[in-house]
Copies of this chain bind each other. A is one copy, B any other.
Amino acid sequence: MTTTPTRRLPESLDAGVALVGPALRETVIRYLCPEMGRVAQYHHGWTDADGRPTNAWGGKLLRPALALLSARAAGGAPASGVPAAVAIELVHNFSLLHDDIMDGDTARRGRATAWTLFGVPPAILAGDALLTAAVSVLLDSDSAGARSAASSLLTATQRMITGQAVDVDFERRTDVTLAECVAMAGNKTGALLACACSLGADLVGADPELVRRLAAFGEHVGLAFQLIDDLLGIWGDPDRTGKQVGADLRVRKKSLPVVAALNAPGSAELSTLYFRAEPLTDQEVRRVADLIELAGGRDWARDEAARQITAAEESLAAAGIPDAIRGEFLDIAAFITDRRF
């Protein structure tokens, strides 16, 4: 989730960084051996490739902030959700380490990716070590819901892996349905955000119904984010997204607006262009974007994002949590999804 900060960061994020940042680092040092710790600390932005301290930006810690909020939503003390916040961020970073290898990406957050500096084997192992540490952090906490939270985190991780696997499999297919694509996005993006929004509550032993409603909120926010991110991948302003115009179209990504359009009536020209082996010219990229819009893919994705945001708000309202905490959840959700498209 690489939102460009188009607005001031919600204050909840500051609290998250202050509480979770040190705990996250202590966890990495405690559970990982020095060799793996070196890779993980570089990846998190705390050190350079030689292990010297840096001030590199390690991300906004959106998921940890949500996990802390969810513990407070269940009546927990401000710090009670810290193990959940640490665990969710470790799983997120495990997936980034492995994704960068799988995608062959050489840069992340303006720095060289870990595998390009340390090699593929240490980067694979460091990812494995972070996933392992994430579950240990929950089980080693003395919270009432430790076992339940660990199970939830594992289920979310398995869903995230499913989403990734299906996304990889989409690359060779030309018959992806919209339902398959929505399910993939739910697994790839929704699952971990649903877990982030509920894991702290789970950990402090909240009523399962509250946990379920907070998870539903996160799941809808995650889907809304993915729809908006997909729209930006086609029509986003390169100055704001940091990506080339139509970047996703050039690599023939089967994103949500594309799949919606391909499954709409009259998509023959789009289908022919999109599944052609040869690269698309700039003019053809513009034509593909127009064809997606003509087939209704852009409108569908915008409307669906709005529906998901409404559904998220309804799930949160039904959770019956204090207004102040609900407000903080909504602030972060607005930050995640509020980008022009």
A residues sitting closer than 8 Å to B (CB atoms) are 31-33, 35-36, 94, 98, 101-102, 119-122, 124-129, 131-133, 135-136, 139-140, 146-147, 150-151, 154-155, 157-158, 161-162, 164-166, 168-169
Contacts and interface: CB of A to CB of B under 8 A. Distances in A.
Contacts of A162: 32-33, 35-36, 129
Work out how many copies of this chain go into the complex: 2
A139 B125 CA distance: 24
Contact of A131 (B101, B132, B168): B132
B131 A102 contact: no
A142 to B, nearest CB: 11
Consensus secondary structure, chain A interface: helix
23 contacts: A31-B158, A35-B169, A36-B161, A36-B162, A94-B128, A98-B125, A102-B121, A102-B124, A122-B165, A122-B168, A125-B161, A125-B165, A125-B168, A128-B131, A128-B161, A129-B161, A129-B162, A131-B131, A132-B154, A132-B158, A132-B161, A135-B135, A140-B151
A150 B146 CA distance: 12
Contacts of A135: 135, 150, 154
Given A36-B165, A102-B120, A140-B151, 10 more contacts: A33-B161, A98-B124, A101-B124, A102-B124, A119-B168, A128-B157, A128-B161, A131-B132, A136-B158, A139-B154
Contacts of A102: 120-121, 124-125
Contacts of A157: 128, 132
Contact of A147 (B32, B119, B147): B147
A180 B311 CA distance: 56
